[in-house]
Chain A
Amino acid sequence: MNRFAELLDRLAYEPGRNNKLRLITGYFREVGDPDRGYALAALTGALSFKHAKPALIRDLIAARTDEVLFGLSYDYVGDLSETVALMWPKAALAGHNNPPPPSLSEVVTTLRTLGKTELPKQLERWLDELDETGRWALLKLVTGSLRIGISARLAKTAAAALGDKDPHEVELIWPGLSPPYLDLFAWLEGRAEKPVNRDPAPFRPVMLAHAIEETDFAALDPSDYIAEWKWDGIRVQAVAGRDERGHVTARLYSRTGEDITGSFPDLVPSLRLPGAIDGELLILREGRVQSFNVLQQRLNRKTVSPKLIKEFPIHLRAYDLLGDDENDLRELPFAERRERLETLIGELGDPRIDLSPTVPFTSWEALAAARADPASAGAGEDSDAVEGVMLKRRDSPYLPGRPKGQWWKWKRDPHIIDAVLMYAQRGHGKRSSYYSDYTFGVWTAGEGGDELVPVGKAYFGFTDEELLQIDRFVRRNTTEKFGPVRHVVHEPDQGLVLEVAFEGLQRSPRHKSGVAMRFPRISRLRWDKPPKEADRLETLERMLKAEAVEIEA
């Protein structure tokens, strides 16, 4: 555990990608099986333990420390594991025969088999045995939230480097592997053949797009690209494959590879032909795509009732094919995969699955026009669910991650309003000492004249430099403090105006203002603008479309 803790600690501070890779690869080389395999699992997020929830950690620390002191410390540090690791008061250890600190494998295998009732005692023992860094790493591990700036991709790349392999090769076989990855390391060290993925319906790591900027277009040739609508739904991978007995198994994965089949049983019968479809999950009513607000009501439900299925009929809009019955198609050019996809969708002939249409264009100007008005450019009545266009190189292979220059997303311009900063709260993690969470409001008529009513919260959109500026402003203009929340001056002539961009608006009885924003973020700081010139609630109400659905309270 100590060697792993040391690795995490160094990684947490190391900014350079190459140095991070060197550190991880060095660790894999130096540490044997099965510890290194569990480390790889931890770094790629492949470990999870049922009972080690943050609430348990809180109980442990509560039993040993003062509640108020813990609360203040947690507010300051902004990270539960680190707070507990730092303030953990070790029990006086009896005698000199203290047990050695546990190894990573010991921790992982113990956690897997341990009953819920034994877990607290075990964690306590380990916390007493480990030093500060060890405690921190242990808690990060058992709560499954390493968050040390290492992507799963980077960890796999470091593993690949151990055997001078292309990281892409590791990605391709990854879904069939499991911790502690003995077969993977054996292959990487030249002691065994490459592992084969035997899952009939495996997840394939998704390919993502870059947001396109004005300046990017000059270097791009329209004829190299195929355009599609960017749907405001949920990106999914729908995979069907034959098992050894020839039966078709179908699964639905989220973009991160989470199996979400159970939430959409109504789609499974439609996935009856083998294939791995990349597409968008949408709600269709009478052939029309519904807004994201509607889809949201179908998501994250613990139980999927027949009523829910009936009222929110699920639909898959397909845009790519990553594999068919036998073949991995990911190395083929996109244009060719798209042809095969069209064939498959035709063969399926299923009302729940259709093709995401392409958007014909000959110049960037023409595409800009289509993006500005999807309704008359082919999206028709579905245009409300279009949030922009996607550009995909005709010759692009399907590459995991966000490869440069292959796919672009070009979103429609967001809505913008000027709002006034009202409250600020300290962030968590990296931003724990900064006031980085902002509640903002707009003007509305109140009993004693105009007053500000909160309309949303934003945590991002600003640069690091702007964060420092807002943080300084908050500290100097605090009118009241309530725990971690500061009331910031917001008068007609005193205060800070934030330009807030957002994707959509909906009615919400939960908010005092009656409206809720989707995906709000700070787009500019308007130091130049006095708060009295900020927008009014009436402006937002005008933006609200008549058909917007009320979300549940």
Chain B
Amino acid sequence: MTTMRPQDILLPVAAGLCCKPGGFHIDPVRPVERAVITHGHSDHARAGHGAVLATQETLDMMRLRYGENFAGSTQAIRYGEEIRLGDVKVKFHPAGHVLGSAQVAVTCKDTCIVASGDYKDAPDPTCTPFELVPCDVFITEATFGLPVFRHGDAADEVKKLLASVALFPERAHLVGAYSLGKAQRVIALLRQAGYEAPIYLHGAMEKITEYYQSRGIALGDLRPVKGVKKAALAGTITLAPPSATSDLWTRRFPDPVTAFASGWMRVRARARQRGIELPLVISDHADWDGLTATIGATGAGEIWVTHGQEDALVHWCRSKGLKAQPLDLVGYGDEEESETPIIDETEA
């Protein structure tokens, strides 16, 4: 029995990560015949593919964003479910990133590669927890792949927000959060912290948040902020896409305190550049400790690093005796780096 080289199973090409023996691409950036999609963020889930394999939630989110005809055909797959594609077996495991997010395990002969997409090992009340999948090659993101990124407990950050709301009852609190995932997580954390007042939403987040609720995630009393009188917003919390918090749109709020829920808020200069007064370090990506712990725990002997600060993580892997290399996927990462809106925000 021959062992295949990992790069014969998965290889980065212009369109994305290509599985030749399986006849598909993972999270392709260009239209392809057959796409396997890890999660619903727009830099991973694009329209125009022939056939799409993804979790039901991811397919639903793509439909919400791109309309009914976003792909030629679709197939839903559950966590833990395994199917055969060409010469390989494909199995989905929870990634803990956002609702419906998955790691894709690709096995060919006796070699298993896990493409983890975006993931986090921190608790999140709005999605299935990350599952550790033992494998030979682990493909990891590195969005926060520097040892300065330590996210801490998201619940503490929400306490900080509530303390500020208590301190400035005459001001509105405007929380910038990515529309898919982060916004719903912040709302759920606020509810866990005992905040029961109505939470207001920017128009661009309504659809996706309703979808979360339709999947049985309890988010309490949510109201559109549109049409609410300025004075009535004193002492309230509104969630909005990050781009909106520096927009003319904020003028409808009484002396707003601008917050931003993101792992980037760990670095002061980042918060200041955006004019954020209340940085909240809440991330849907694994932090440095999460990345390194996960890499070690998979037992993989070879690590491919993509999507962010590859250099540092590759260096760390090698210093631990692991074979590691950056996986240069053109088209990934720019979105996070420049913090452009992830979903629906351009429509707002």
A residues sitting closer than 8 Å to B (CB atoms) are: 12-15, 65-66, 68-69, 72-73, 76-79, 82-83, 86-87, 429-434, 472, 475
Contact = CB atoms under 8 A, between A and B. Distances in A.
Contacts of A434: 273
A433 B269 contact: yes
B154 interface: no
A221 B277 CA distance: 43
Contact of B147 (A13, A73, A472): A73
B16 interface: no
Contacts of A87: 146-148
B148 A73 contact: yes
A430 B277 contact: no
A78 B269 contact: yes
Contacts of B312: 68-69, 72-73
Interface string B295-323: 00000000000000101100110010000
B89 interface: no
Contact of B269 (A14, A68, A429): A429
Contacts of A68: 312, 315
B277 A76 contact: no
| Chain B interface residue number, banded | 20 to 34
A431 B267 CA distance: 12
B269 A431 contact: yes
Contacts of B150: 86
A82 B311 contact: no
Nearest to A468: B338
A65 to B, nearest CB: 7
Given A87-B147, A432-B269, A433-B269, 18 more contacts: A12-B272, A13-B268, A13-B279, A65-B147, A66-B319, A69-B146, A69-B316, A72-B309, A72-B315, A77-B148, A78-B269, A83-B148, A86-B149, A86-B150, A86-B266, A430-B273, A431-B273, A433-B267
B223 interface: no
B50 interface: no
Contacts of B266: 86
B198 interface: no
B23 interface: no
Contacts of B279: 13
B314 to A, nearest CB: 10
B276 interface: yes
Interface in B135-180: 146-150
Given A68-B315, A69-B312, A72-B309, A77 B267 contact: yes
Given A13-B276, A14-B277, A82 B268 contact: yes
A15 B269 contact: no
Given A13-B277, A15-B277, A66-B315, A73 B269 contact: no
B270 interface: yes
A73 B269 CA distance: 13
A6 to B, nearest CB: 12
A15 B146 contact: no
A13 B270 CA distance: 11
A77 B277 contact: no
Contacts of A430: 269, 272-273
A69 B147 contact: yes
A73 B319 contact: no
What secondary structure prevails in chain A residues at the interface with B?
A: helix
Nearest to A481: B311
Contacts of B146: 69, 72-73, 76, 87
Contacts, number: 73
B271 interface: yes
A81 to B, nearest CB: 10
A469 to B, nearest CB: 12
A524 to B, nearest CB: 23
22 contacts: A12-B272, A13-B272, A13-B279, A68-B315, A69-B146, A69-B147, A69-B312, A69-B316, A72-B146, A72-B311, A73-B148, A76-B267, A82-B267, A82-B268, A86-B147, A86-B150, A87-B148, A429-B269, A430-B269, A432-B267, A433-B273, A475-B338
B238 to A, nearest CB: 19
Nearest to B312: A72
Given A13-B278, A76-B148, A86-B150, A66 B316 contact: yes
B72 interface: no
A39 B22 CA distance: 65
A94 to B, nearest CB: 22
A433 B146 CA distance: 14
A60 to B, nearest CB: 15
B123 interface: no
Contacts of A83: 148
B151 to A, nearest CB: 11
Given A66-B316, A68-B315, A12 B268 contact: yes
A86 B150 CA distance: 8
Contacts of A65: 147
A471 to B, nearest CB: 9
Please indicate which of the listed interface residues B268, B270, B273 has the most CB atoms of chain A within 10 Å of its own CB: B268
A159 to B, nearest CB: 23
B275 interface: yes
Enumerate the 4 nearest inter-chain pairs by beta-carbon distance, A residue then B residue, closest first: A86-B148, A87-B147, A432-B269, A72-B312
Interface in B168-199: none
A433 B338 CA distance: 9
Nearest to A84: B148
Contacts of A12: 268, 272
A40 B303 CA distance: 51
Listed residue (A73, A429, A472) with the most chain B CB atoms within 10 angstroms of its CB = A73
A432 B268 CA distance: 10
Given A66-B319, A72-B312, A13 B271 contact: yes
Looking at A14, A69, A77, A82, the one whose CB has the most chain B CB atoms below 10 A away is: A69
Contact of A76 (B272, B273, B309, B315): B309
Contact of B270 (A15, A66, A433): A433
A250 B234 CA distance: 59
With most chain A CB atoms within 10 A of its CB, the pick from B146, B319, B338 is: B146
A86 B2 CA distance: 47
Contacts of B319: 66
A434 B316 CA distance: 25
A15 B273 CA distance: 11
B140 to A, nearest CB: 16
Contacts of A15: 275, 277
Nearest to A89: B147
A174 to B, nearest CB: 29
A15 B309 CA distance: 30
A53 B279 CA distance: 30
A82 B315 CA distance: 22
Interface in B243-278: 266-273, 275-278
Residue from B150, B269, B315 with most neighbouring chain A CB atoms (10 Å): B269
A472 B273 CA distance: 15
Contacts of A79: 268-269
Nearest to B148: A86
A57 B275 CA distance: 29
Name the residue in A430, A431, A433 with the highest tally of chain B Cβ atoms < 10 Å from its Cβ. Answer: A433
